[in-house]
Amino acid sequence: MAQRIGILTGGGDCPGLNAVIRAVTRRSLDRDWEVAGVREGWRGLVTGSLEPLGRREISGILPRGGTILGTTRTNPYKVDGGIEKVLATLEREGLDALVAIGGEDTLGVAARLHGEHGVPVVGVPKTIDNDLSGTDYTFGFDTAVTIATEAIDRLHTTAESHNRVMVVEVMGRHAGWIAVHSGIAGGADVILIPEHPVSVEDACRQLAQRHAGGKDFSIVVVSEGYELTYETGERKLVAGEARATDQFGHVVLGGVGDALGREIEERTGFETRVTVLGHVQRGGTPTPRDRVLATRYGLKAADLAHEGRFGRMAALHGDAIVDVSLEEATATLKTVPPDWYDTARAFFG
């Protein structure tokens, strides 16, 4: 009987998901495996919603953003009888292997299912936030940084024309990777991230010094997870008002840019405008770098699955595609280390 492999995409969508689906499917079909697409992440295994994937279904999807399989933030551990249902679906569908494409939440579930129930799963590291341990880069990050950098470049010219401070709020959750990379690439004058919280007073001093030195516009990049931090030691996380957390316990972030913009204008007197990039950073076609990375990850994941090397995740170390333990990759978040922030800081003010 033919071997059967399932593919699921979970968590926030991300440019490059379809490139992974295509690569896993192509390699599996080449080896005469049957391929099943799981609808909407872990939800599809809870409800038993799968569909066959063949060459026709994956044709033309390489450059397409989003995911042809759909995605949700469903956590089967938080659904009544969720794990039993997942196990029953795997059994009923006769899946010999499963490729889970996701970030810390989706892959955290995969690691647990493998550890606790021996589910034959391998992982692929996806997230625009780049906050997964065990890999140098996740796919989707390069696209998000490219979009944010282009936005910063555009804001530069309007900031300059109007002598304004432009605050740009970028995504990244509790890691400042997008802010640091796009901020360095776009020549930001101040970059604020959760890991190394520069105070509001200090940020305003940097801007005042810059303007005193003859510049009359500035670009400030702030990561959505940055807590407004004051010299008194007070810190405020700005999150979506009173909205419930998701099934993984995450608050909906967003809004720090507006709060920061008001503070800057009041404290410095410089006219300030705020741009929140939001989901634009996640939409649309992946960059060539992300297409290539996603493709290499997909082939590696298929190889791991076909070789029966479960509980592993495809990863990038330097320029090599390797595999690491899913459990270790999901144990801690990969945040921005001080030396990366120092590179950004060298151009403040």
Binding site for ligand F6P (CB under 6 A): 12, 103, 127-129, 171-173, 224, 253, 282
* Closer to ligand F6P by Cβ: residue 159 or 256: 256
* Closer to ligand F6P by Cβ: residue 179 or 274: 179
Q: Least distance in Å: CB of 175 to ligand F6P?
A: 9
* Closer to ligand F6P by Cβ: residue 127 or 206: 127
- Please state at what angle helix 256-268 crosses helix 200-212, rounded to 10 degrees: 50
Report yes or no: 169 and 276 within 8 Å, Cβ to Cβ: yes
* Closer to ligand F6P by Cβ: residue 28 or 127: 127
Please list the alpha-helical segments (H only) found in the chain: 17-30, 42-47, 55-58, 82-93, 104-117, 141-162, 177-186, 200-212, 256-268, 288-306, 326-329, 338-345
Q: Least distance in Å: CB of 253 to ligand F6P?
A: 5
CA–CA distances in Å: residue 261 to residues 267, 273, 300: 10, 7, 44
Q: Least distance in Å: CB of 127 to ligand F6P?
A: 5
Q: Which of 13, 105, 129, 142 is catalytic?
A: 129
Cα–Cα distance for residue pair 115/313, rounded to 1 Å: 14
Report yes or no: 135 and 212 within 8 Å, Cβ to Cβ: no
Q: Least distance in Å: CB of 227 to ligand F6P?
A: 14
* Closer to ligand F6P by Cβ: residue 83 or 170: 170
Report yes or no: 108 and 330 within 8 Å, Cβ to Cβ: yes
**Cα dihedral sign, 336-341-342-344:** positive
Within 8 A by CB and 6+ apart from 301, the residues are: 20, 24, 99, 101, 122, 123, 124, 314
Q: Least distance in Å: CB of 255 to ligand F6P?
A: 12
96 tagged catalytic: no
* Closer to ligand F6P by Cβ: residue 172 or 311: 172
To the nearest 5 percent, what fractions of the chain are helix, strand and coil?
A: 40, 20, 40
Q: Least distance in Å: CB of 239 to ligand F6P?
A: 10
- The residue number with the shortest CB distance to ligand F6P is 171
Beta 227-229 vs 320-325: how paired, if at all?
A: unpaired
Q: Least distance in Å: CB of 103 to ligand F6P?
A: 6
* Closer to ligand F6P by Cβ: residue 2 or 244: 244
Q: In which residue are the tokens 């957390």 written? A: 245
Report yes or no: 138 and 44 within 8 Å, Cβ to Cβ: no
The 8-class DSSP code of residue 287 comes to: P
- Which active-site residues does the annotation give? 129
